[in-house]
Amino acid sequence: MKNTIFAFKDDSPKYKQIYEQFKLFIERGDIPANDPLPSIRQLADSLQVSRNTTLTAYEQLVAEGYIRGEGRKGFFVNELEPLLFQDAFVLPKKNQTKSVTPVLINFRAGAVDQTHFPLIIWRRIANQVLTLQESFGYGEPFGELCLREQIATYLLQSRGVKTDPNAIIIGSSTQQILIHLGQILKDDFPSIIVEDPGYDLAWEAFHFHRFMLETLPVYETGADFSCLEEMRSRLIYVTPSHQSPIGVSMSIGQRQMLIHWANKRHGYIIEDDHDSEFRYTQQPFPALASIDSTRVIYLGNFSKSFLPGIRLSYMVLPQLLLDRYKNQFLHFESTTSLLSQLTMAKFMEEGEWNRHIKRMRLVYKRKMHCIVSELKKQFSQDVSIIGEQSGLYLLVKVHLKRSEEWLIERASFYGVKVYPTSIYFIKNHSNEPIIKLGFSNLTCEEIKLGVQLLKKAWS
């Protein structure tokens, strides 16, 4: 092995450079399997380095399985699986390169408005929390009492739900809570009714426990409850205040009928109240759990209305399920951050949560008006707008005789990222493509530009 192979650089240790060079030779097959390597002394003399340097390089190669030492015989190359490395050294052909238009406008749903986030207040409270003795523990398995008390107060004021703080379970996300909930329900409830279209991540949680899914059709006018009595399930998952993804709200008559159904079947309603705070035409509708808390499992979260990365969700359990849940998970650690819980509890206690919701409702209302106005201006009768009364996104049914895939690809070509809705349908498919447009993290100027580019893309 010639000295010229190793052109040492000054920015990293020589043993590391030797190790990396031999690793490259072996992965490329330049040194075949079972071939001997130079001895430590020969390599050191050849490269004009110390024996410790070459020894360290060989020891690293041995540790990672590239070579082996065989007593006094020396070091030999191990046989490696070629599939692990064959793609790493294939250079792309020129005709394989594809120009990608940079994303100018991203209509992603689930984001929040960063410019109005109460960063200074949140940081101040978080710093205060770090001085508390309880911040340096592991926390309660079902969530901190101070946060559960604040949530109980908030739910009574805003959603009409009367609950004891001890009936509230804190979790990291709605999906994680559903997985835990499924653990205590699956033996008594082998199947569950879900909305179609509906929340796909909830379906994944139900599939995890092998629930059989029955589907409840949902249209722009609301859910079709006429088939409910024919179904076998005694468990149903719904998003009544802002149906995901259609955006329609369940009427009071439908809510009462669903409560009656659950009582008659001795079943349960899982109510996902994911972003009920943001209704722009009237006050937020009362929760199902405010009508009958004995048959409703209520879910809420702080991700969509405050900060996705905070990973804070909660569940209110009926008394019949509460003891069973706590017995099942008593010896499991909490799935969410203790510091986030304590900070949010203080944030709510100081009234900042209510101020934030009130402020953001106005901000998002303006953005909703902006995107609706621009869509009507640019597309006129070529699109129908679905779900403009509430939420942080809307749906656009496109009447251009184009596929969902085509619409998304064309938008991407013009630097606009839009999202499919076909993933939310099981049986009740739409006869025309529907595109999902989130607007919460965009300015009105960005919204207008995005819609104008969509007009060019889809013309």
Confidence category of residue 389, pLDDT binned at 50, 70, 90: confident
Domains of the chain: 3-91 (1.10.10.10), 105-113+356-458 (3.90.1150.10), 119-353 (3.40.640.10)
Confidence category of residue 274, pLDDT binned at 50, 70, 90: confident
b/e map 16-39, b = 16+ CB within 10 Å: ebbbebbbebbbeeebeeeeebbe
Predicted confidence (pLDDT) at residue 295 exceeds the cutoff of 50: yes
The partner residues of 218 in beta bridges, in order of sequence, read: 223
Predicted confidence (pLDDT) at residue 127 exceeds the cutoff of 90: yes
- pLDDT confidence of residue 251: 86
How many Å apart are CA 225 and CA 219, to the nearest integer?
A: 11
pLDDT (tens digit per residue) in 67-109 = 999 888 899 999 887 655 555 555 555 555 555 678 899 999 9
Q: Which two tokens stand for residue 436?
A: 């999902």
- pLDDT confidence of residue 303: 85
Q: Which two tokens stand for residue 26?
A: 């072996």
Q: Are 271 and 297 in contact (CB under 8 A)?
A: yes
Average pLDDT over every residue of 46-53? 88
- pLDDT confidence of residue 4: 42
CB atoms within 10 A of CB 438: 19
Residue with tokens 């439908």: 254
Nearest to 113 by CA among 447, 449, 455: 447
Per cent of the chain over pLDDT 90 is 64
Nearest to 422 by CA among 440, 410, 441, 406: 406
Nearest to 109 by CA among 253, 245, 231: 245
- pLDDT confidence of residue 196: 94
Q: Which of 83-92, 341-350, 416-425 has the lowest mean pLDDT?
A: 83-92
Measured in Å, how far apart are the chain's first and last C-alpha atoms? 64
Q: Are 128 and 346 in contact (CB under 8 A)?
A: yes
More confident position, 59 or 2 = 59
Predicted confidence (pLDDT) at residue 149 exceeds the cutoff of 80: yes
Residue 430 exposure: Cα atoms within 13 Å on the Cβ side: 27
Q: Are 395 and 419 in contact (CB under 8 A)?
A: no
How many Å apart are CA 340 and CA 99, to the nearest integer?
A: 42
Angle between the 352-379 and 444-458 helix axes, to the nearest 10 degrees?
A: 30
Phi and psi dihedrals of 93, rounded to 5? -75, 155
Phi and psi dihedrals of 425, rounded to 5? -105, 140
Q: Which of 67-76, 167-176, 261-270, 283-292 has the lowest mean pLDDT?
A: 283-292
How many Å apart are CA 20 and CA 61, to the nearest integer?
A: 9
How many Å apart are CA 232 and CA 211, to the nearest integer?
A: 13
Confidence category of residue 305, pLDDT binned at 50, 70, 90: confident
The letter for the amino acid at 191 is: S
Angle between the 174-185 and 319-329 helix axes, to the nearest 10 degrees?
A: 100
